[in-house]
Amino acid sequence: GENVEQHPSTLSVQEGDSAVIKCTYSDSASNYFPWYKQELGKRPQLIIDIRSNVGEKKDQRIAVTLNKTAKHFSLHITETQPEDSAVYFCAASMESGYALNFGKGTSLLVTP
Amino acid sequence: EAGVAQSPRYKIIEKRQSVAFWCNPISGHATLYWYQQILGQGPKLLIQFQNNGVVDDSQLPKDRFSAERLKGVDSTLKIQPAKLEDSAVYLCASSSSSYNEQFFGPGTRLTVL
C-alpha cells in the first residue's frame, strides 16, 4: 500500500519567515495530494491540494509543489504568522473517492 | 452547509468494555470514512463506505471493530471489547462522489483505562 513520509516532525520559525514541509510517497498510482491543517483539539481542515497534472499551485501565502518523477511534494508557507501554528499533514491518494494515506504530521510553531 | 457531525465528543471506558460512535456526514455525500488518529500521528483509515456498501476495510481490526452505514447516510463504529491501544481520536469524514476533498468531523476522543 501507499506509504507517505513527512519531514520535519517539528519546525519552529520566526514570524515573517518562510516554512517548508516535505513529503514523499511510494505508490506511483497516487494522483491527489492534499495538505491539512489541524489546530490543537480541532478537526483537520484542507488548506490546499494538488493533482498530478499540475506541478505547482498557489493560494495567497501557501503554495504546494509536486515532483511526480521523484515522488515528492512540498508545502511552502511564506510570511508566516502566529496563527499558522498548528500540525500540518500531507496525504496522498488515487483519484476521487479513494481514502487518504497521511504522513505523520509536522508541528509548526511560529514565534512572534 | 452543515458540516460532518459526530457524537459523543469524548468517551472514557474501561478495557474490555464496548463503545459506539456515531457520524452524520454532509448531506448528499456518498462516501464516508472512519479514521483512527493516535496521539502524535496522522489519521489512519479504518473503513470506507460508498453509499451503504463497504469499499475498503482492510485495516479494520475485525475481531473487535465493526461499522455500518444504514440507508447510506449515518454511520456507527463499534469497538467490542476495547483495548488500551484503542485510545485515540476517531474521525469521520465524508466526500462527494465527484470531488475528492474530504471534510472531517470534530472527532470522538476515546480513552481506554
* pLDDT, mean over chain A: 94
Smallest Cα distance from B104 to chain A, Å = 6
| pLDDT band at B101; cut points 50, 70, 90 | confident
Closest residue in A to B92 (Cα–Cα) = A43
What mean pLDDT is predicted for residues A19-46? Answer: 94
Q: Three-class SS string for chain A? A: CCCEEEECCEEEEECCCCEEEEEEECCCCCCEEEEEEECCCCCCEEEEEEECCCCEEEECCEEEEEECCCCEEEEEECCCCHHHCEEEEEEEECCCCCCCEECCCEEEEEEC
> All 3 cell numbers of residue B38?
493516535
Question: Which residues in chain A are contacts of B95 at CB distance < 8 A?
Answer: 96-97
Size of interface A-B (CB pairs under 8 A): 57
Question: For B64-100, what is each residue's pLDDT tens digit?
Answer: 999 999 888 999 999 999 999 999 999 999 998 666 6
Is a pLDDT exceeding 90 seen at residue A83? yes
Contact A46 B102 (CB under 8 A): yes
